[in-house]
Amino acid sequence: AAFKQPPARHLTEEEKTPSLTELRQILWMNRKPVAPFNQVWPNLYIGDESVARDKSTLSSLGVTHILNAAAGRHRINTGQEFYSDLEVEYHGIEAADHPEFNLRPFFTCAAQFINSALKKNGQCRVFVHCAMGVSRSGALVLAYLMISQGLSLVDAIIAVRLNRDIGPNSGFLEQLRQLEPLIQVKNKTFRRGHF
């Protein structure tokens, strides 16, 4: 399936971030089977552990940057060393796919890692993964789209779901809900020239 790009739209001041229940309805509507990987934004892929460990697939996709949202000894212990025979830049985040886990401190560094790669020269491709490519990686890509691309949470979810079914757990969704007003304030301040 070809990559689909959503129309650009920015939240007006009247629009508020939907409730957790409303967000869940958007995420769980018309679900399709999850593929090992999908391109969800130009040169940005979300996938699962099998693809993260499959160097020939990563090479054929032209992946230059890997963001592992399930890094660590007891999870997906790949790391820069694992990819030493590929020319990739690696960034690992030791996140648990649990609603109580605070993923918020990682939103900005993940967004910066993805953004700096995609801004380089148009040749870089970023692969973001966790175990299933649904919750942790989905949440970090949504954060990237909100922080770096200025999308609202709903628009970010819709954009990704055009190409892949994701399902951040309720804790991550709530953390993304709390991120949205902070970004709106920052963008407004930035537009007024105060930043």
Active site residues: 130
Q: Look-up: residue for tokens 């789209």?
A: 145
Contacts 24+ apart (CB under 8 A), 186-193: 187/150
Tell me how far the alpha carbon of residue 40 is from its chain's centroid: 9
In angstroms, the Cα distances linking 124 to 59, 64, 109, 116, 167 are 12, 5, 18, 10, 26
Of 71, 64, 120, the C-alpha closest to 88 is 64
Cβ-count burial of 18 within 10 angstroms (0-12 exposed, 13-18 middle, 19+ buried)?
middle
Cβ-count burial of 35 within 10 angstroms (0-12 exposed, 13-18 middle, 19+ buried)?
middle
